[in-house]
Structure 1
Amino acid sequence: MRLLLVEDDDRVAAALSAVLTRHGFDVVHARSGEEALRRLLPDDTAPPFGVVLLDLGLPDADGFEVCGRIRRLTTVPVIMVTARADVRSRVHGLNLGADDYVVKPYDTAELLARIHAVSRRSAAGTAAPAPESGGSGHGSAPELLLGPLTIEIATRRVTVNGEAVSLTRKEFDLLALLAQRPGVVFRREQIISEVWRTSWEGTGRTLEVHIASLRSKLRLPSLIETVRGVGYRLVAPAG
């Protein structure tokens, strides 16, 4: 898989590139946001990138701005890799279209697991997760109506009171999973397995950030309820 590493520190980039190369990645290094955007332009002479690792502290532009421009250019999965650990930054990054957010310093195994997770989801295409055989999944329902919230499965379109809400791939998959059975508690492990297609425990923090991002975007404060120590459930709003 070709991987675009956007990192202005050459020492950090060299060390990380060496690790990624040993694990089978074809790493291309970009030192600035503008260089990264140029690298992502369609090129018939090279295969497309499978993942972008994006540092936020770039010399020519803030990484958040670069992420927004990347998302307008391509649907390639983006993992933000940064020292900014506050939840607000995490939510902002996901709102801009990042698929994941990793805080420095990180364990290499963690980063590799996240890269493989987002690439698996990307390879699975844009269809919502298929329900298990015999289950009551959302694959058979073309549209879910929950008060002011409408979820169109086929087009992956979400509206609240008729106003479109822009969600990332994982945010949509997470919302659609919870919405297929309003009132039913989904265990954290089950959500991680179905949305992230992994059982890796470190994904739990990413789940929390995606839940926070959904709450912020949908502006329905009581829609997703945290069941302490268990998981989450969707409470169908009135109206």
Structure 2
Amino acid sequence: MISIDSSKVLIMVVDDEIINLKIIESMLNIENFRTLLVSNPNEVIEKALTNQPDVILLDVSMPTRSGFDICRDLKDNPLTTKIPVLFLSGQYSSEFVIKGLDSGAQDYIAKPFNAPELLARVKTHIKLKIMVEKLIEMEQFKALHAAMVSQNHTLNQLTASILGQVEIIELLEEKNETDLNKYKNAVKAIEKAATEMDQMIKKFTNLSKVKFTKYSDKTDMLDLTNSKIEED
């Protein structure tokens, strides 16, 4: 069962009416959610990028910009696209609901609503977000494990190659071989394998440089999707 530490969850509330912001804030305070209130529609994208809220509650009808346009911009930006957007609107026709979902929102809540309904919807979408992120993390670790198994197999092959060339050199010495090219060929093979091993070891070392991302509950998670393995 997924638990939520509400005190670590930040919810952005967007509405051009201050009184609506205060009402919604009081509802969210029941569960001790942290809130970020935004009354200017033109500031939503900037504040979302800066604060990275876990959920955005977005009014539909606002001056200068509609909630639909704002939602599309949020979903088009890779830094905010994964933030769940829940529309809050007094206009609850099927046309508006479809338009809201088509713009990328995860839910559409009709006004007026009560605190239990709002809190239930918010917690549901936070849990869904956490579940998705954990599934992504599992897939990332599976990919990492598979890569490490493959690299380990290659390292074993390179080690065997080096040992084989060492045996060849020992046999040449036992036979008092005078052809220096045979020794040189064995040494070159050892140097090549050693270079490949060195590069692979550096790749493993660079895994410690992978970035961490955050769950909605602020749990650290390895982010391998944008991490680059550096080679010298």
- Ranges of 4+ aligned residues in structure 1 off by more than 3 Å: none
TM-score by length of 1: 0.50
Picking from 75, 78, 84, the partner of 2:85 is 78
Please give the alpha-carbon distance, in whole angstroms, between the structure 1 residues aligned to 2:104 and 2:133: 15
- Partner residue of 1:106? 113
- Partner residue of 1:30? 38
Please give the alpha-carbon distance, in whole angstroms, between the structure 1 residues aligned to 2:121 and 2:56: 12
Share of identical aligned residues, percent? 24
Q: How far apart are residue 33 of structure 1 and its match?
A: 2.0
- Partner residue of 1:39? 47
Please give the alpha-carbon distance, in whole angstroms, between the structure 2 residues aligned to 1:2 and 1:89: 27
Q: Deviations over 1:63-98 (max 9, x none)?
A: 111110111121100000001110111011111110
Tell me, yes or no, if the aligned pair for 2:27 and 2:119 is still in contact at 8 Å.
Answer: no
Q: Deviations over 1:208-227 (max 9, x none)?
A: xxxxxxxxxxxxxxxxxxxx
Question: Match of 1:105, as an amino acid?
Answer: P
Picking from 103, 113, 122, the partner of 1:115 is 122
- Partner residue of 2:65? 61
- Partner residue of 2:13? 5
Tell me, yes or no, if the aligned pair for 2:100 and 2:108 is still in contact at 8 Å.
Answer: yes
- Partner residue of 1:90? 97
Q: How far apart are residue 12 of structure 1 and its match?
A: 1.3
Tell me, yes or no, if the aligned pair for 1:3 and 1:27 is still in contact at 8 Å.
Answer: yes
TM-score by length of 2: 0.51
Tell me, yes or no, if the aligned pair for 2:15 and 2:58 is still in contact at 8 Å.
Answer: yes
| Larger radius of gyration between Structure 1 and Structure 2 | 2
Tell me, yes or no, if the aligned pair for 1:80 and 1:93 is still in contact at 8 Å.
Answer: yes
Structure 1 unmatched runs, 5+: 129-239
Please give the alpha-carbon distance, in whole angstroms, between the structure 2 residues aligned to 1:26 and 1:58: 23
Partner SS, residue 37 of structure 2: strand
Please give the alpha-carbon distance, in whole angstroms, between the structure 1 residues aligned to 2:32 and 2:60: 25
Q: Deviations over 1:164-216 (max 9, x none)?
A: xxxxxxxxxxxxxxxxxxxxxxxxxxxxxxxxxxxxxxxxxxxxxxxxxxxxx
Q: Deviations over 1:99-151 (max 9, x none)?
A: 000000112111110001111111112588xxxxxxxxxxxxxxxxxxxxxxx
Question: Match of 2:72, as an amino acid?
Answer: G
Q: How far apart are residue 32 of structure 1 and its match?
A: 2.3
Let me know the Cα RMSD of the aligned residues.
Answer: 2.0
Please give the alpha-carbon distance, in whole angstroms, between the structure 1 residues aligned to 2:101 and 2:134: 20
Q: 1:26 to 1:127 in 2, by over 3 A?
A: closer
Tell me, yes or no, if the aligned pair for 1:3 and 1:53 is still in contact at 8 Å.
Answer: yes
Pairing of 1:130-169 with structure 2 (within 5 A): none
- Partner residue of 1:176? none
Please give the alpha-carbon distance, in whole angstroms, between the structure 2 residues aligned to 1:2 and 1:116: 12
Partner SS, residue 57 of structure 1: coil
Tell me, yes or no, if the aligned pair for 2:16 and 2:41 is still in contact at 8 Å.
Answer: no
Please give the alpha-carbon distance, in whole angstroms, between the structure 1 residues aligned to 2:134 and 2:28: 29
Tell me, yes or no, if the aligned pair for 1:32 and 1:60 is still in contact at 8 Å.
Answer: no
Tell me, yes or no, if the aligned pair for 1:77 and 1:99 is still in contact at 8 Å.
Answer: yes
Partner SS, residue 58 of structure 1: coil
